[in-house]
Amino acid sequence: MSEHTAQPPPAQPAAPGSGRRAWTAGKKGTGGVVTTVAAAVLFAVPVLTALFGPLLAPLAEASGPGAPYALDGRHPLGTDGLGRDVLALLLRGGGSTLGSALGAVALAYLVGGAVGLAAAVSRHRWVDEMLMRPVEVVLPIPSLLVISLVGVGRHGNAWAVTMAVALVNTPVAARLVRAAALRAAAGPVAEAMRMQGESRLRVQLGYVGGSVLPVVAADVGTRVTGAVFTVAAANFLGLGMEPTAPDWGVTIAASREALLVQPWSVCAPAAMLLMFTVGLNLLGDRVLDRRDQLPPRGHRDRRARDRWTRVRRARVLPGARKEGRA
Amino acid sequence: DGSASAGATRPRRGGVLRAAFPGAGAKETLDPHKQRQFVDIARHKAMFDKLVELGPTLRPVPRLARSWESSADSTVWRFRLREAVFHDGHRLEPEDVLYSLHRILDPHAADHLAANSLSALDLGGCRAVGKETVELRLKKPSAEFPSLLAVTGALIVRRGYRDPEKPVGTGAFRFASFQAGRSFSAHRFDDHWAGAPYLDELRILSAASEARNSAVQAGEIDYAHEMSPTFARLIEGNSRVALVSTPLSGVDGFALKTDRPPFDDPDAAMAVKLLVDRERLIEVISGNRAQPGNDLYGKGYAYYPSHLPQREQDLAQARRLARRSGLFNRRLTFYTSTVVEGFVNAAHLFADMAGEAGLRVEVVSGPPETYNTDQLTTGDIGNHRCGAMPIPTYISERLLDGSPQNASAWKHPDFDEDFVHAQGIKKETARTRAYGALQRTVRDEGGLVLWGHPDWLNAVSTTVHGVKPAPPNTDKWARFDAVWVD
Amino acid sequence: MARHALRRVLLAIAQLTLLSVLVFLLTSLLPGDAADVLFNDKTGTEQIARLRHEMGLDQPPAQRFLDWAKDLLTGDAGTSLTGGQPVSGIVAHSVGATALLAGVTAVIAVPVALVLGLVTGCRAGGRLDRTVTAVTLALGSVPDFVLSLALVAVFALKLGWLPSTWIGATTGDLLTRPGLLVLPVAVLLARTVSQLIRQFRAGTLGALNSGYAQQARRLGVPRTRLLLRHVLPNAAVPGVQQLARTGDALLGGVLVVEAVFAVPGAATALIEAVRSRDVPTVQALTLLLAAAALFLNVAADLVSHRLSPRVEVLR
Amino acid sequence: MTRPLIEVRRLTAHAADGTALVRGVDLRMEAGRVTALVGPSGSGKTTTALALLGEAGAGVRLSGHVRVGETEVVGAHGITAHAAGVRGGTVAYLPQHPGNALNPARRIGAVLTELAALHAPSGGGRNASRALSRAALEQAQLPPERPVLRRFPHQFSGGQQQRVALAEVLACGPRALVLDEPGTGLDTVTRAALTRELARLARSGPAILLLSHDHAMVRALADDTVVLEAGRVTARGTPEAVLPAAPAPVTVRESGEDPDGGAKEHPEDSGEERPDGTPLLQARSLFAWHRRRGHNVLHDVSLRLRAGECVGVAGPSGSGKTTLARCLAGLHERLGGDLLLDGAPLPALVHRDREQKRRVQYVWQDVHDSFDPRRTVIDQVARTAVRLRGRTVDQAREEAGALLCEFGVPPRTAARPPGALSGGELQRAAFARAALARPDVLVCDEITSALDAETAERVLTHVEHLRTTRTAVLWISHDLRLMRRVADRLLVLDGGGLAEAGACARVLARPRSEATRRLLDAEERGQRRRTALPAEAGPHPMG
Ligand SMILES: Nc1ncnc2c1ncn2[C@@H]1O[C@H](COP(=O)(O)OP(=O)(O)OP(=O)(O)O)[C@@H](O)[C@H]1O
Ligand SMILES: Nc1ncnc2c1ncn2[C@@H]1O[C@H](COP(=O)(O)OP(=O)(O)OP(=O)(O)O)[C@@H](O)[C@H]1O
Ligand SMILES: [Mg+2]
Ligand SMILES: [Mg+2]
């Protein structure tokens, strides 16, 4: 013991002041930046491909169709089972995959999240019950059943499958959000905001929503992944989109047999999806970490708001200035 | 290529063969008269026999019936039976045959598959003639009757057979166990009329295509039924797995509805027949494992008019005909489904080809479960696929006014009359000629665009011998009596 | 707590009843019925009509539902429309394999995810965290069938270490050949673990940042104990909720796994039954799976209730 | 002179923006001695105390020298890596906001036993730990009974939570105790008992650092006193030498005279309402419960508030004061009885319209929990004026800033998130948040508990100002002296029921109920010197 005091204290890393810091030492290193950049790149590649790929696709299609699952010089990533250029498919197929997966999850969270939030924020038990009971009834239905019913009933309709995926995710989102929101909504901060006459919307979205955010952010990434695979699995079963649709998920499902014959036909779209979900999740983590670590939103908000008011005052009525000072 | 028996060792007794077929879950059945799936048929084939089977060219060949003869008007048929024994030791007698036919045609059993084909039987007029012969009487003459006895689900069971769980047949294997959707096993029947099989045990297992793929490669099964052209490419050069490829095992094509515009005009149909690029379809859909079709069913089968010239793509003529028949002004609907792998692909490929020729084709996809029925009424164009069957059966099932599967809506009373007439012709050459004329009519005026005759692909482990190429539904297909393992 | 539990169980029964009506309605809405499907390729309209009568499909749906429900109450789940065998047999044969897969997966996934979630949560941003996060994320992001095919290609076909499918295996074989389980479970684990880890990690982060964790540290509670006794109960809440849903997620994954590895399981049976419009089988399987899901949900609720007593009290 | 247990030399603390929070503090703590750290709110007491554990708030940098036992906790370069070793066993810290320091998911008994076992010198087994934990609970003035041990933290009142947190600290059996405002939220009786208990404890060994605004407690306990102002030590010595003289006792009992020389010029109030004029806020026969209907924590409580009037509420900890306040504020919905505002029924908060919300405002007891940790304090305070009085954001901000300044919280401080404010600063912010509504009824739940006398004065001044604008105030406090100054009438709650009501002066002078008498006795004794105390200490063995 006494030896310790005799020695000079060891040089310190970033002050392990707050408890949290001590436990998460090393966050600030360059590693963080590298990961952030990597995550952004991972995320951006598939998204940009989905957005702008269709514009470039004709270039890739210029060499015309080839033999099925061929790996010849004319097609950089070979061809798929119909002899179509895999690169062209890759360029064309992002929109529907990401669109339907994101759309389904967004819808699920929009509806389910709203229901869950409303149920949690409501101080009336009956509102909670009314909102959550139906959710609880729907919850245990195997999503597989819903997908297959919809897939069988409204065959080959991408919208229907998207809606089905949204539907199966909605109760889950509702419950998740409710559980997370309940803690916040029942706490004194929400009470204080209500006492201040804050609108329900602001209490729910501004504060309770904000407290739910970490849980949701941790969930959204996996949910999107899940949605992509549910759609892909529906195609695997012949319940989803047309097996010829130039969609990443469909392409993977349709070419799966050729994994070892023409690996690109499966691996290229799979890599896109992988980049997307990994990037999305990593970015989500980054944003959350940042949120917990940096000075609170108020600082930034205020500066932004001051700037905004200044602009407004300068532009709009000169009288407003006086009024503002009054 | 083809048979895995090439360079085989000497046949050897003993061993177990594990054969995997696409499964159908709870739908699988032990009742031989309800059979519907390939996996059922294979199982039943091991345990039961039909009176008549179909040979490689889809001609009837003797099975339990040693020989047959008919009255001059082809309404009364006599079948002489073999000296076969059932698994319980009981000897096959005409009464067993009559019992089986009665059971198949039982009015209360709606799901007996052969009932439709055998509905021509006049059961009241059927009888045993002595201990060896059974006499069957038809309601109307048919020279093709023996091949009707070879249809799916026309198996001969033991008199008094009721409980499907206790199958007793004359087949080469005795029942051991069965679990729907999973597995079936049967043991060698030493008293089989054609001599005991080599195998000690036969297991017929159900598995989806992914599982069959990997299992046969890993040596977990010895025989995998119905493999894809992609799989064939995958195992090229694989020393453990060989492909048994059966050429001419059916037909792939498109069906145009000829009972309504635009394809009620033979020119319009001909335009479509001339614009399809058969080679491209074969390359993409069949992985180059098919022979080009000539818009005729049954290439290589009995009654096939092989002298007709091969139809080739002729875009110029196709355009001319299309313009003349007003095809360019219409929007055509291609009704397809994922019911069979490759249907949707073929539909899109066709739509592309038609698009290049200036036609507008919209592909619509329907539910696979009811596709075959829906297809009869929906869309202008549909997919068409048909396994191996005798040409007259094909005509009667697909091209007559009352045919249950008349996908091209080919409804011409005179054609039907000619067909009934042809069926009654006793003399084979004349009958062949009559059938030939009928097929030619359909080829030139009908709505069937039959672009390819795909190979049937089975995979067999190299330790298995004696598996012969044979079109599905024929005698040697899925028959493991003469198969042995190292 | 006991009252709470009882309420939940009663509710679950009501839910199941409602659910069966719902599922029945939905299946009735599908195009075609079992007779159509059965005779899809060998149509004879008259034959179909007879078959339909035989199956009782010509009766009004309400009547059919009531009959079905009456039978069920007497313990008879009916017979399959397509195969003719008792539904209870189909269910019994198919559920075992799926339950085994899901069970083994859960038994492995939960502790692994808990440990990794805690460890990465308390070292958020560290190298270990980044590695684990990236690896599990990537594994969880590979489509199931790609992963299964790749695993089979490597471990079964190339290396020959493990069996590639369950073809022909019986349930008894599973005990003597545990190798059969390895690949399917590995595929199922990839997604499950990845999802669970994320939830546990998020929960851990939140709990670690809280005042009580800070105070516990100030009172000298050592790291491991802090994690296990103080942080875990709070951190587990989102994870437990996620766990309740894992059953469903597993079922989705199981379907692909069942197809690739020829596992004769419930997911395949369910799809097959929907395909062939075999309503009694669909009903029975759905109810069973839903009951399992409900059970998990109720369990999760009770556990969460125990873990965050404050929330329920406020309601 | 022996080497002190804890030695602090030239400790400085800087905020992230460079502001010096603590500037060169020296401190010595010896076993068996109580050192008091006093000073105005925001002077750096908590910051200094945390440094003893090798801790600092977010963004705060420490330097100087802190030695605890043989361990260097803070060195020239900040907190050392050994700091973690002293926490709990050597130095145990009772935080200023105990509410969120308790684990919501665990029963308090389990945590106490765990901590006791953790720091027990030689194991001793489960039973020993359990005995230790019970002893700790008793020392913290909570009954060590099974039902109490099995409760979750949220099932305690504010003052009870404070004591639970204290029990956790005591269960560690540390060599040095750092107690940050241990007396907040405690009624006079409990506080006196706690003071006695702490005195005993100090004599039995550990060194104690007491951070408190409660001069009575400091006088009663402290051997040395260190006065901190703006981060600097400005005085040192015995409490008598350093602290201002003890005020006169609250009450001159049985005197029948107004002892305060008519600080309030209201006519004598028998406690009965004057018949004329409807009261502004009226509660008739209130019942309230928490878990199950029937298990009431408030029984049949009635009260009337007239415009401009201040009604005090006193009572032992756990007697239902907060529950009553929350009922009025509309936050507690499990209640029976009538609430009337201007004669019209007053619904629960969710059903109140904006005007009703504005008219009735509430200041939380546990302020720390009532602020969103992610937004700045000024933002949150200003929202009241925006939402309830329709001010623009900038106007509201200006008003809020001005009000906070008035209370001694500079704008720069208010622009930080709540975690970076001192306990007293936050309490004032919470008050400002409610006051900004210009309410007609202001319910204040112990809003001066974390304030030094001078700062409290600022708040009181504002309360006076509000009353002149006809705002009625419900003032919950344990500080009877303050109560006397503020309140016109006084309600005394005991065990959820109304023990006594009447004019404040009368109640304090001639208490009729046992509960009031006990509170007053304890208050009176608390004013006396420490030496007078130990005789009546209870039999609480420790360790
Ligand atoms: N959520 C709860 N569940 C059960 N009992 C509770 C709950 N909250 C408070 N109580 C109990 O209700 C009683 C009244 O609590 P309340 O908070 O009103 O006391 P208080 O007078 O404000 O005390 P203090 O002076 O300590 O703040 C206490 O005995 C407390 O233990
Ligand atoms: N994390 C922080 N960052 C910046 N400033 C801080 C931080 N924490 C506290 N402060 C400021 O440091 C000063 C001293 O705070 P401290 O909590 O030590 O005061 P205190 O003496 O304990 O006051 P009180 O009696 O009100 O609790 C206050 O003005 C406070 O605003
Ligand atoms: Mg402080
Ligand atoms: Mg209180």
Q: Taking the mean position of all CA atoms in its chain, how far away is CA C206?
A: 28
| Average pLDDT for B375-386 | 89
- Cα of D505 vs centre of ligand 4, distance in Å, is 23
Q: What is the pLDDT of residue C252?
A: 67
Q: Are residues C124 and C240 in the same domain?
A: yes
- C-alpha A67/C-alpha D124 separation (Å) is 80
Q: What is the share, in percent, of chain A residues with pLDDT greater than 90? A: 1
- Whether the upstream peptide bond of residue B262 has omega within 30° of 0, thus cis, is yes
The answer as to whether C47 is a domain residue is: yes
Residue among B42, B45, B252, B74 at smallest CA distance from B148: B74
Q: Tokens in use for C28?
A: 């009735």
Residues B453 and B471: their CA atoms lie apart, in Å, by 11
Residue B207 C-alpha, separation from nearest chain C C-alpha, in angstroms = 5
Chain-chain contact of D433 with A196 (C-beta, under 8 angstroms): yes
Per-residue pLDDT of A167-209, as tens digits, reads 888 888 888 888 777 777 777 888 888 888 888 778 877 788 7
Q: Is A58 on the interface with D (CB under 8 A)?
A: no
Q: Which backbone phi and psi does B248 adopt, to 5 degrees?
A: 55, 50
C315 domain-assigned: no
Neighbouring C-alpha atoms within 13 Å toward the C-beta of A228: 35
User: End of a domain among C16, C46, C74?
Assistant: C74
Q: Is the pLDDT of residue D268 over 50?
A: no
pLDDT for the residue B438:
92
The confidence band for A321, taking pLDDT boundaries of 50, 70 and 90, is very low
Same domain as C111, residue C26: no
What is the reported pLDDT for B98?
92
Range B279-297 average pLDDT? 90
Q: Answer yes or no: is pLDDT of A8 > 50.
A: no
Ligand 2 atom at shortest distance from the alpha carbon of D228: 21
- Residue B253, pLDDT above cutoff 90: yes
Euclidean distance between CA atoms B59 and D185, whole angstroms = 102
Verify that C136 and C170 share a domain, yes or no.
Answer: yes
More confident residue, B334 or D186: B334
Contacts of C126 in chain A (CB under 8 A): 24-27
Q: Among candidates C234, C263, C266, C274, which has minimal Cα distance to C247?
A: C266
Give residue A157's pLDDT: 67
Co-location of C37 and C115 in the same domain: no
Range among A207-211, A243-247, B139-143, D258-262 rated most confident: B139-143
Q: How confident is the model at residue B21 (pLDDT cuts 50, 70, 90)?
A: very high
Nearest to C40 among B210, B215, B372 (CB): B372
Question: Is residue C28, in this structure, part of any structural domain at all?
Answer: yes
Cα→Cα distances A243→B207, B360, C83, C113, D325, Å: 22, 21, 30, 36, 66
More confident residue, B145 or C244: B145
Residue holding tokens 């109304």? D498
Instruction: Tell if the CB–CB gap between C165 and B203 is shorter than 8 Å.
Output: no
Q: Which residue of C has its CA nearest to D54?
A: C218
Cβ of D291 less than 6 Å from ligand 1:
yes
Cα distance from A72 to chain C (closest Cα, Å)? 23
Q: Are A302 and D379 in contact (CB under 8 A)?
A: yes
Domain with CATH 3.40.50.300 in chain D: 6-237, 281-529
Residue B180, token pair as written in the block = 């729907």
What is the predicted pLDDT for the residue at D122?
66
Express each pLDDT in D450-467 by its tens digit.
888 888 888 888 888 888
Task: Tell me which H or E stretch contains B305.
Answer: none
> Confidence band (pLDDT; 50, 70, 90) for D519?
confident
* pLDDT reading at D169 higher than 50: yes
Which ligand 1 atom is nearest residue D154's CA?
1
Q: CATH number of A49-292: 3.50.50.60, 3.40.50.740, 1.10.3720.10, 1.10.132.20?
A: 1.10.3720.10
Asked if residue C112 and residue C43 are part of one domain, the reply reads: no
Q: Using CA atoms, how far apart are residues D212 and D222, in angstroms rounded to an integer?
A: 11
CATH of D281-529, one of 1.20.1250.20, 3.40.50.300, 3.30.70.141, 3.30.230.10: 3.40.50.300
- Residues B441/B415, Cβ–Cβ less than 8 Å: yes
B266 class by beta-carbon count within 10 Å (0-12 exposed, 13-18 middle, 19+ buried):
middle
| D290 close to ligand 1 (CB < 6 Angstrom) | yes
* pTM, full prediction: 0.78
Q: Can you tell me the distance from the alpha carbon of B285 to that of B295, in angstroms, rounded to the nearest whole number?
A: 17
First to last CA, chain D: 27
Q: Are residues C36 and C112 in the same domain?
A: no
Q: What angle do CA C205, C210, C216 make, to 5 degrees?
A: 105
Return the pLDDT at D112.
86
Q: What is the pLDDT of residues B69-111, one digit of tens each?
A: 988 888 899 999 999 899 998 998 999 999 999 998 888 777 7
Does C4 fall in a domain?
Answer: yes
Residue A325 pLDDT greater than 50, yes or no: no
Cβ distance B27 to C276 less than 8 Å, yes or no, reads yes
What is the rounded (10 degree) CA torsion for A54, A58, A60, A64? Answer: 140
C54 shares a domain with C104: no
* Band (C39; pLDDT cuts 50, 70, 90): low
Atom 22 in ligand 1: which residue has the minimum CA distance? D322
Find the CATH number of the domain harbouring C268.
Answer: 1.10.3720.10
Which residues surround ligand 2 with Cβ inside 6 Å?
Answer: D 15, 21, 41-47, 57-60, 96, 413, 416, 420-425, 450
- Using pLDDT thresholds of 50, 70 and 90, give the confidence band for residue A24: very low
Average pLDDT over residues C116-132: 80
What is the per-residue burial (b if ≥16 Cβ within 10 Å, else e) of D373-411?
A: bbbbbbbbbbbbbbbbbebebbbbbbbbbebbebbbbee
Per-residue pLDDT of B404-441, as tens digits, reads 788 888 999 999 999 988 888 888 899 999 999 999 99
| D442 Cα: distance to centroid of ligand 3 (angstroms) | 25
CA of D325, closest atom in ligand 1: 18
Do C68 and C210 fall within a single domain?
no
Q: What is the ipTM of this complex?
A: 0.77
Which residues of chain C have a CB within 8 Å of the CB of B212? 167, 262
Cβ within 8 Å, pair A282-C314: no
Residue B188 confidence class, pLDDT cut points 50, 70, 90 = very high
| Angstrom distances, CA of residue D456 to CA of B47, D361, D408 | 100, 19, 10
Q: What is the mean pLDDT of residues B254-258?
A: 92
DSSP conformational letter for A208: I
For residue D98, give both structure tokens: 């105990």
Q: Each residue of C245-294: pLDDT tens digit?
A: 776 667 667 777 887 888 888 888 888 888 778 888 888 888 888 888 77
Compare CB distances from A83 to B233, B284, B337 and report the shortest one's residue. Answer: B284
Residue B459: what pLDDT?
Answer: 92
- Residue B66's DSSP bridge partners are none
Tokens linked to C169: 């295996």
The H-or-E segment that residue A40 falls in is helix A30-61
Question: What is the model's pLDDT at position D74?
Answer: 84
Question: What chain B residue is nearest to C155 in terms of C-alpha separation?
Answer: B218
Are B404 and C272 an interchain contact pair (Cβ–Cβ within 8 Å)?
A: no
What is the amino acid identity at position D470? Answer: R
Alpha-carbon gap: B100 to the closest alpha carbon of chain A (Å): 38
Helices (H), B250-384: 266-275, 278-285, 315-324, 343-356, 371-374
**Residues C41 and C108 both lie in one domain:** no
Q: Which of B194-208, C112-126, D497-511 has the lowest mean pLDDT?
A: C112-126
pLDDT at A18 over 50: no
Question: Model confidence over A257-280: pLDDT tens digits?
Answer: 888 888 888 888 888 888 888 888
Domain span at residue C199 reads 91-307
Q: How many domains does chain C have?
A: 2
Tell me: do C190 and C245 sit in the same domain: yes
Task: Based on the fold, state whether residues C209 and C133 are members of the same structural domain.
Answer: yes
- Express as a percent the part of chain B with pLDDT over 70: 98
Are C23 and C66 part of one and the same domain?
Answer: yes
- D271 or B202, which is more confident: B202
Q: Does A6 touch chain D (CB under 8 A)?
A: no
- C290–A142 C-beta distance less than 8 A: yes
Q: What CATH number does the domain located at D6-237 have?
A: 3.40.50.300
Q: Mean per-residue pLDDT for A17-46?
A: 60
Residue-wise pLDDT tens digits, D30-57: 888 889 998 888 888 888 888 888 888 7
Residue B396 CA to residue D28 CA, distance in Å, equals 110
More confident residue, D347 or C8: D347
Task: Supply the DSSP symbol for B105.
Answer: T
pLDDT at B460: 92
On average, the pLDDT of chain C sits at: 78
Question: How far apart (Å, rounded) are the C-alpha atoms in residues C220 and C222?
Answer: 6
Which pLDDT does position B134 carry in this prediction?
Answer: 92
The secondary structure element, H or E, covering residue A240 is none
Is the predicted pLDDT of residue D205 greater than 60, yes or no?
Answer: yes
pLDDT of residue D522: 80
Query: Does C288 fall in a domain?
Result: yes
For ligand 2, atom 6: residue with the closest CA: D420
What residues have CB less than 8 Å from C38, skipping those under 6 apart? B27, B36, B111, C51, C81, C82, C276
Tell me, what's the pLDDT at D263?
A: 37
Q: Which residues of B touch A (CB under 8 A)?
A: 209-210, 213, 228, 230-231, 233-234, 283-284, 287, 337-338, 344-345, 348-349, 363, 365-369
Tokens of A85: 């250029």
Average pLDDT over residues D309-324: 88
Query: Can you tell me which atom of ligand 1 is nearest the CA of D158?
Result: 27
Task: Specify the residue with its C-alpha closest to ligand 1, atom 1.
Answer: D155
Residue B186 has pLDDT above 90, yes or no: yes
